[in-house]
Amino acid sequence: MQQIVVGTAGHIDHGKTSLVKALTGFDTDQLVEEKERGLTIDLGFAYLNESITIIDVPGHEKFIRNMAAGAANIHYGLIVVAADDGVMPQTIEHLDILTLLGVNKGWVAITKTDVIKDTEWIDLVELDIQERLIARGFHALSINRINNLNSNSTDKLKKDIASITNVKSIDSISEFFRMNIDRVFSKTGFGTVATGTVLNGEVKQGSEIEILPSTIKAKIRGIQSHGESVDKVSSGSRAALNLSNISSSEISRGHSICTAGILKPTRKIIVNIKMIKSTNWKIKNNQRLRFHFGTSEVLGRITIFDSKNLKNGYSANAVLNLESSVAIALDDKFIIRSYSPMNTIAGGLVLETNINFSWS
């Protein structure tokens, strides 16, 4: 059975984690600091059913890096907006990140409707959400009003999400296996385990793989998907890979697991950049920026081909000179954020990798 990965998106304290718990029965805030502070810091994972995983992301602006890593491994978005606040800054930034990465469908949950007694206000919040979604090309499969005091208010949303496995097919864009790592841990008696969503291809137990960009070779000792041991996983599936002969300290979020020899790490690539329409930032030649490829974040500088700078709504081809290597493929989508203060300002598409000419 095919698998689907859904990711939350929305401003801090709008009830993303509470909603995931209502849908799945699982509290995704597992870190001690998350419990103490009452906010999500890192990615959380829960199962809606045997086919659907929900990745819960942090809503605080300081943890956008973690949100972008989660967004890189999902197929659908779950946009969460609190009725009392309405659309807020990270609602917009999260939505921009999703659509720039090609995640342009999903569901909307308007939470905390029990706090608002004026239904006309909730109507206005819903209208505002719809306008923001349309402006960014995000299609809402359903909009759901969630009463936090009524446990049955999530029933329709849960049914809507569960039904997507009947209509959505995750196609593999390549026969070669590739997975961006979003979590690494060591399990007693098993060793190193890396998790992620399979981007394309298939991998079987016993297969030799390569971890990039570090170019470490390893073998798949065992595979789990949705908590069950399996012989293989393929495109679209959540996977936990037990790796032999490698320490958990040697790999981390941001690395990729691939069929050996299919990708070569690179620091210089040709890309097409599209600026967000609403940003006030301009990208200038040789500007230092943050680039989010898959689950990784790397620093680098940019050289624009046909202009001295790019402003909102504009697009152009450019060369990226990265400060550390990444493992990417043609047509990969990525996010560009400003160095400081950190804001999402553009998205990009990889046109060519491992180039060896200089541009000045």
How far is CA 238 from its chain centroid?
13
- List alpha helices for 167-285, DSSP H: none
Summarize the confidence of residues 140-147 as an average pLDDT. Answer: 96
- Give the whole-angstrom CA distance, residue 37 versus residue 17: 14
pLDDT of residue 305: 83
**SS3 label, residue 133:** helix
Give the pairing type, strands 52-56 and 4-9. parallel
pLDDT of residue 40: 86
- pLDDT tens, 68-103? 999 999 999 999 999 999 999 999 999 999 999 999
**Residue 170 scores a pLDDT above 90:** no
Reported confidence tier of residue 204, pLDDT bands at 50, 70, 90: very high
266 beta partners: 326
Among 30-34, 82-86, 171-175, name the most confident range. 82-86
Summarize the confidence of residues 334-352 as an average pLDDT. Answer: 95
- The answer to whether the predicted template modeling score (pTM) of the entire model surpasses 0.85 is yes
Reported confidence tier of residue 113, pLDDT bands at 50, 70, 90: very high
What kind and span of H or E run contains 297?
Answer: strand 296-304
Average pLDDT over all residues of the chain? 91
pLDDT of residue 169: 61
Reported confidence tier of residue 38, pLDDT bands at 50, 70, 90: confident
pLDDT of residue 171: 65
Q: What percent of the chain has pLDDT over 90?
A: 76
285 beta partners: none
What kind and span of H or E run contains 171?
Answer: none
For the beta carbon of residue 112, count every other beta carbon within 10 angstroms: 22
Residue-wise DSSP of 185-197? EEETTTEEEEEEE
Please indicate whether residue 121 or residue 1 has the higher confidence score (pLDDT). Answer: 121
**Residue 172 scores a pLDDT above 70:** no
Summarize the confidence of residues 11-36 as an average pLDDT. Answer: 87
Summarize the confidence of residues 183-197 as an average pLDDT. Answer: 90
Reported confidence tier of residue 360, pLDDT bands at 50, 70, 90: very low
- Give the whole-angstrom CA distance, residue 24 versus residue 213: 35
For the beta carbon of residue 97, count every other beta carbon within 10 angstroms: 27
pLDDT of residue 263: 93
pLDDT of residue 21: 94
- pLDDT tens, 254-297? 999 999 999 999 999 999 999 999 899 999 999 999 999 999 99
47 beta partners: 53
Cis peptide before 341 (omega within 30 of 0): yes
**SS3 label, residue 10:** coil
pLDDT of residue 210: 96
